Chains A and B, each alone.
Chain A
Amino acid sequence: MLENVADGFLGLFMFFAHWLSPGNDRGEIRIEAVRELKTRSVLECFISFEWNERMSDLIDAGIPMRFRILSYSDRGDSTLSIRTLFCDVGEYTYYISDSLIVPAIDSVYVSKEYRQIYRALREYRHVMRSFARSASYFQIEAVLLPSRVSHLNRSIDMSDICGCRRFATRVISKQRGK
């Protein structure tokens, strides 16, 4: 009898713990196209996460959205980059930047400027990676990083709003052949 009551309390506690914990469900990276070149394959992917007004508000307030994108295969095609979406609050302009950490450290690419967030977002979600055709699998993982709120000296976790922190997909050679 008392064990049941104790279980009830434990269940209640677990419920609250789950409710209070940040979202860490695994999201999806959709493969949109695979182009086969002579020695390499180029993969076009789409990070599939929900967009809402609250996220727009955060970006519009100059808070950057950052993804750490890691891709690798069994042939050693490893790439690690940080992709950022940020807004110039004064000019109402959105930019996307890619900081390539591996293999070339501090190689930064900044996109053209966008006047509308949804257009910027379309490019932001698109990820293109290439890997050796001889690879038997290829894995892409994207992790939403905490964003720095510069003027309030703190950071926020956008995955609470987005509902997902990790996104991943794996391509194996059989699947690619199709």
Chain B
Amino acid sequence: MRLWRQLELEWKVLLLAAGLFVAFAWPVQRFVITRLSETLFQSIDPDLETTLRAELADAEGGQRGALKEHIERYRQTRVLMPIVVKEQQRLLIALSIGLFMLFLLLALWVLKRLTRPLKDLARAVDRIGKGETAQVARVSEGALGIVEQAVVNLQEELVALREQARMQGMETAWKDIARVMAHEIKNPLTPIRLTLDRMEERSGSGRGVSNEDLTKFLTRINAQVDMLERLVDQFRSFSREPEVRLAAVDCAALLRTVADGMGRSLTTTIEGAATIQSDPYLLQQIFLNLLKNSLDAGADRVSAVIGTGVGAVTIALQDNGPGIPPAHLGRIWLPYVTFMKNGSGLGLAVVKQLVETLRGAVSLVSPPGQGVRITLTFPTDLTGEN
């Protein structure tokens, strides 16, 4: 049954025709031949030879020869009848099979011609479904022509809709980028503007700015400029493929260094150790982004577990933050998508890009009430991996 379903329409029709031929044509010809044989045999007088032989016993000379010929003719006719019928039957069967084969070829050709536009349409629809452009021309008349025209219209509409969606998507993306960038740039600019206003106010009022205050103001402005620089770096690192410089990296030590930089606001515990051949700078950026993300999300504790497997190292980071709602999990890796008040939407996107650059893998789970668990996997030797 499965085989039958897989067969194309024209072959199904041909097989059915073959089945019908065997089922009906064969018994019919047998019936006809049998009837013909019976009729032919009934037409021969069974007593003819007896009569001829009786005459032969009394005949002489030329008459005797003629009677012998009659007997011979009678016998030959009688004995050859079944052979001739059999021959004709074979001829009929051969002719039937020949004609049937001819019919099969003709039917196959006609069916192929008939179904070709349908198959072309099916292929075209399949390509359209995959988002490719298909050449559909209206070449048929009647119902098939209407279907072809409908497919042509469908393709045109789809192309228009896709273009519209693409434009809308790009516009939305640009708007999002502009909004996030404006917000991120504005954040450090505000304190800079305020600091400069205060300095201007001090000098305008004649009070002057003491060296101590000047240092304080400059430090504050410097910090905000640093933040702007970091922001620019983040954008840059996201927009281009980072350069990989391989070195032996002690994962636990590197993670400890990054965690220490977070200060007392985030307590990080590390279990296990592993040394891999990778890029220490990129790994540092990955750890920094992840720990900062946990901190920004409201976590104050992160536990890291480093495990080793065959040719790979796994680093699992578990924080005690509020976690991510299941509805947001599908979009967390997208750039400029953030669910935090002051997030840039680039942290996890940058992490994903860097991990992939290091031929690693990253996954995130967030069971309700259990914070976020991020698992990083890196090859132990990136040189061998490459």
Interface residues of A, Cβ cutoff 8 Å to B: 1-2, 5, 9, 13, 16, 20, 54, 57-58, 60-63, 88-90, 149-152, 156, 160
**B138 at the binding interface (Cβ < 8 Å):** no
Bound CA–CA A9/B75 (angstroms): 42
Question: What would 5 A/B residue contacts be, using CB atoms closer than 8 Å?
Answer: A62-B75, A89-B71, A90-B71, A151-B69, A151-B72
Bound CA–CA A13/B78 (angstroms): 33
Interface of A is mostly: helix
B-side contacts of A13, CB under 8 Å: 97, 101
Q: Which residue of chain A has the shortest Cβ distance to B68 in the bound complex?
A: A90
A-side contacts of B79, CB under 8 Å: 54, 57-58, 60-61, 63
**B93 at the binding interface (Cβ < 8 Å):** yes
Interface of B is mostly: helix
Which listed residue (B75, B80, B83) contacts A60, Cβ 8 A? B75
B-side contacts of A151, CB under 8 Å: 69, 72-73, 76-77
Q: A1-B7, A16-B97, A90-B67 are in contact. Are A150 and B83 (CB under 8 A)?
A: no
Bound CA–CA A151/B7 (angstroms): 56
Counting residue pairs across A and B whose Cβ atoms lie within 8 Å, the total is 62
B-side contacts of A16, CB under 8 Å: 93-94, 97
Q: Which residue of chain A has the shortest Cβ distance to B73 in the bound complex?
A: A151
Bound CA–CA A149/B74 (angstroms): 12
Q: How many residues of B contact A (CB 8 A)?
A: 28
A-side contacts of B68, CB under 8 Å: 88-90
Interface 0/1 of B299-323, CB less than 8 Å to A: 0000000000000000000000000
Which listed residue (A20, A62, A150, A160) contacts B93, Cβ 8 A? A20
Cβ distance A12 to chain B, nearest Cβ, rounded Å: 8
Q: Is the CB–CB distance between A150 and B94 below 8 Å?
A: no
Cβ distance B287 to chain A, nearest Cβ, rounded Å: 56
A-side contacts of B101, CB under 8 Å: 9, 13
Q: A16-B93, A20-B94 are in contact. Are A89 and B72 (CB under 8 A)?
A: yes
Bound CA–CA A58/B94 (angstroms): 26
Q: Which residue of chain A has the shortest Cβ distance to B56 in the bound complex?
A: A90
Bound CA–CA A152/B79 (angstroms): 11
Q: Is the CB–CB distance between A149 and B56 below 8 Å?
A: no
B-side contacts of A61, CB under 8 Å: 72, 75-76, 78-80
**B216 at the binding interface (Cβ < 8 Å):** no
